Amino acid sequence: MNVNAESFPRRHRITVEEYHRMGEAGIFSEDDRVELIEGEVIDTAPIGSRHSACVTQLNRIFVRGTDALVRVQDPVRLPGSSVSPPM
């Protein structure tokens, strides 16, 4: 096999279904903070106090005076090959 340095690093894109199977197989622990972005598993930063405060304030604004259901930091499936976090 002829391998040259220009072909590395290689990325192995995965599908949303493969990502979910990885979660079901225990590859990701409950403490892992990962998302699938455009077919790549990406580590995410832990939620800090500023992030938490912003989410709380935005939630208060969005639900004020409405009957809408607002989901806060729940898993979301996006079109294509992205999902956050493993479901």
Report pLDDT digits (tens) over 29-72.
888 889 999 899 999 888 899 989 999 999 888 888 888 788 88
The pLDDT of residue 86 is above 60: no
Between these two residues, 72 and 15, which has the higher pLDDT value?
15
Please give the radius of gyration of the chain, using alpha carbons only, rounded to the nearest integer: 18
Q: What is the pTM of this model?
A: 0.63
Tell whether the torsion through CA atoms of 74, 24, 48 and 78 is positive or negative. Answer: negative
